[in-house]
Chains A and B, each alone.
Chain A
Amino acid sequence: MPVSATNWADEVDGEDQPQSFTDANGITTTIEYKTNDDGKKVKVTRRTQKKLIHDVVNKAVAARKKWAKFGKEKGNRPGPDPATTNVGDNIKLKLSSTGQITQDVDEKHEAMKQQLQNKKILCRICKGDHFTTKCPYKDSLGMDDAAAPAGTAAAAEEAAPEEQQGGSKYIAPHMRAGASGSKPSDSMREKRDEQPTLRVTNLSEDVTEGDVSELFKRFGHISRVFLARDRETNACKGFAFVSFTMREDAQRALEAIDGRGYDNLILRVEWAK
């Protein structure tokens, strides 16, 4: 902190001299004044405590500590040489009486969890609380366009951690999150057959995939949304297919949405054939 000079005489005689006094607890306080880089005078107060630790060692051990170094170490200074001696990462030895040794979790994984504890992780595909690359539905459900604008902020946030975890599992380039290429269609067809799918008709022209998934996701996990679009205008053709992972969810959605108004049109929902 800068000291306001009260008297130029005091400044010279007293304040520039380092002061040092020891209190009853053996704590020495040293006060120094010096000029910092900005040309301001700074008061530095240091409190130090000295502790003398006595250690009783074997005479032979004490003698060996004084031995001169030899061999490859000949002439080297005392103290560990960083070339040969290093301190490793902290390792916890967890002792347990149960006989069951808990497999220690990968440290990196643990560290990342800690780091991201307060961050909200949102999958861009299914809106679950995992990374987009780790999404269990990334194969069956593509990146829907509508979610992208909402997800840009989250995406930026995720970008760094995603890179860190890279390498844990190989993902083909076209399968990675953010890849623009479309999914192989035969695998899509396979999945489509076995999933409970609803056909939604009488949609308005302005509807997007995002709107449809927004409408249906409250009933359960949606694995795929397909919105028929006109080739030229790219506008909605008025019908969509929504695939759920659970049949019960699809059933509930069918009952709830069928006949409901949406964008001044009455929706019709039925099982896709």
Chain B
Amino acid sequence: MRPILLQGHERSLTQIKYNREGDLLFSVSKDHVVNAWFSHNGERLGTYEGHIGAVWTVDVNSTTTLLVSGSADNTAKLWDVSNGKCLKSWEFNTAVRRVQFSEDDKMILLVTEPRMGFPATLQIFNVENGATETVSSEPLTVIHPEGPKITVAAWGALNKYIVAGRENGSVALIDPKTGDCISTNKVHEATITDLQMSADRTYFITSSKDKSAKIIESEFLEVLKTYTTDTPLNSAAIMPKVQEFVVVGGGQEAMDVTRTSSRQGKFECRFWHKILEEEVGRVRGHFGPINTIAIHPDGRSFASGGEDGYVRVHHFDDDFFSFKFQI
């Protein structure tokens, strides 16, 4: 396969995300810009400009009308996907590390960092009529979670709970209404770097700096599968169709990169068999650690964004679809 290289960023990528149909790919990086790309040919649809700090996170709703981004300039912005207009900007005390639309598109979840004496918060905003009316500046709920810093968070099925990943490697279920921590489980040894839900949100995959990725069931936080690699992981994604694979990526810490060759850096996307926990293949190409991985909803392509500032969109070859794992 010949990857499509997207060079719309000048600094390292922080998150990439496909929309529900997978025709658009959104990428954010530390260079303040949000880019929208057509995933089939890599054509850039446009840019969303307005942030004045590194953009940490992005999410798009299921109808591809609204886009939300969270940045280190202490704001989160709501955008009109089709024309790049900023519809709303929320101000916070600290940087926004994670944003996500709820399953019904009515709410967004934001994770703010603890910094300068301000505690970490999980905030939920109503964006139900975001495309037509002005949305409220006031959050529906503000949660002050206790315990170690929350690095990643995602909505659980039917918005019944929020799944959060912490700096100490534990995952927690949080009630979005009351803010109570329902249960917690320390699954990783080091900070959790990514958390992506399965299509039906009954399980999710986490990646961690402890060099492993885990599939965790989202009701009791029981670890179902473990994929142990030889490098710190920054992202993990579940392939929704075609093959029962998960894709994990990472690499040596960015600060150590200049001291070793790209081969030793292990900057590869690794494909693991989801059920059998066997590594099946690798895709190399980045010359920096992989920060984020997203898989096309139809499972025919995937994209990875690296510390090197590139997004690489890979469309699988025919033999990928006919591959059968031999036991």
- Tell me if B279 is interfacial: C-beta within 8 Å of chain A: yes
Q: Is the CB of B49 within 8 A of A85?
A: no
- Tell me if A153 is interfacial: C-beta within 8 Å of chain B: no
Asked if A69 meets B45 with Cβ closer than 8 Å, knowing A64-B24, A95-B320, A101-B282, the reply is yes
Task: Flag A104-122 by CB within 8 Å of B: 1 or 0 each.
Answer: 1010000000000000000
Task: Flag B1-17 by CB within 8 Å of A: 1 or 0 each.
Answer: 11111111000000000
Q: Is the CB of B5 within 8 A of A64?
A: no
Partner of B5, one of A57, A60, A87, A90: A87
Asked if A60 meets B21 with Cβ closer than 8 Å, knowing A80-B41, A91-B285, the reply is yes
Interface residues of B toward A: which range?
Answer: 35 or more
In the complex the two chains form, what is the Cα distance from A265 to B326 in whole Å? Answer: 70
- Tell me if A2 is interfacial: C-beta within 8 Å of chain B: no
Asked if A74 meets B64 with Cβ closer than 8 Å, knowing A85-B7, A101-B279, the reply is no
In the complex the two chains form, what is the Cα distance from A78 to B3 in whole Å? Answer: 20
A residues in contact with B285, CB < 8 Å? 88-89, 91
Asked if A84 meets B8 with Cβ closer than 8 Å, knowing A73-B45, A91-B285, A94-B281, the reply is yes
B residues in contact with A79, CB < 8 Å? 41, 43
Q: Is the CB of A58 within 8 A of B320?
A: no
- Tell me if B128 is interfacial: C-beta within 8 Å of chain A: no
- Tell me if A83 is interfacial: C-beta within 8 Å of chain B: yes
Q: Is the CB of A70 within 8 A of B21?
A: no
A82 — nearest CB in chain B belongs to which residue? B7
B residues in contact with A70, CB < 8 Å? 45-47, 82-84
**Cβ of B276 to closest chain A Cβ, rounded Å:** 9
Q: Which of A56-82 contact B (CB under 8 A)?
A: 57-58, 60-61, 64-65, 67-74, 78-81
A residues in contact with B83, CB < 8 Å? 67-68, 70
Prevailing SS type, chain A contact patch: loop
**Cβ of A180 to closest chain B Cβ, rounded Å:** 33
A residues in contact with B3, CB < 8 Å? 87-88, 91
A residues in contact with B325, CB < 8 Å? 97
Asked if A85 meets B42 with Cβ closer than 8 Å, knowing A61-B23, A90-B1, A101-B279, the reply is yes
B residues in contact with A84, CB < 8 Å? 6-8, 42, 44
B327 — nearest CB in chain A belongs to which residue? A97
A58 — nearest CB in chain B belongs to which residue? B21
- Tell me if B314 is interfacial: C-beta within 8 Å of chain A: yes
**Cβ of A49 to closest chain B Cβ, rounded Å:** 23
Q: Is the CB of B2 within 8 A of A99?
A: no
Q: Is the CB of A60 within 8 A of B64?
A: yes
Q: Is the CB of A86 within 8 A of B4?
A: yes
Asked if A83 meets B7 with Cβ closer than 8 Å, knowing A61-B23, A67-B82, the reply is yes
- Tell me if A159 is interfacial: C-beta within 8 Å of chain B: no
**Cβ of B86 to closest chain A Cβ, rounded Å:** 11
Q: Is the CB of B283 within 8 A of A91?
A: yes
A residues in contact with B284, CB < 8 Å? 91, 104
Task: Flag B30-51 by CB within 8 Å of A: 1 or 0 each.
Answer: 0001000110011111111100
In the complex the two chains form, what is the Cα distance from A96 to B283 in whole Å? Answer: 13
Q: Is the CB of A78 within 8 A of B43?
A: yes
In the complex the two chains form, what is the Cα distance from A226 to B60 in whole Å? Answer: 77
B residues in contact with A94, CB < 8 Å? 281
In the complex the two chains form, what is the Cα distance from A60 to B24 in whole Å? Answer: 11
B residues in contact with A91, CB < 8 Å? 1-3, 283-285, 314
- Tell me if B188 is interfacial: C-beta within 8 Å of chain A: no
Q: Which residues of B are at the interface with A, using a C-beta cutoff of 8 A?
A: 1-8, 21, 23-24, 33, 37-38, 41-49, 63-64, 82-84, 263, 270-271, 278-285, 312, 314, 316-317, 319-320, 323, 325-327
A-B contact pairs, 23 of them (CB 8 A): A64-B23, A65-B38, A67-B83, A70-B46, A70-B82, A71-B46, A71-B49, A79-B41, A81-B43, A84-B7, A88-B2, A88-B312, A90-B2, A91-B284, A93-B271, A93-B281, A93-B282, A93-B283, A96-B280, A97-B280, A99-B280, A101-B279, A104-B282
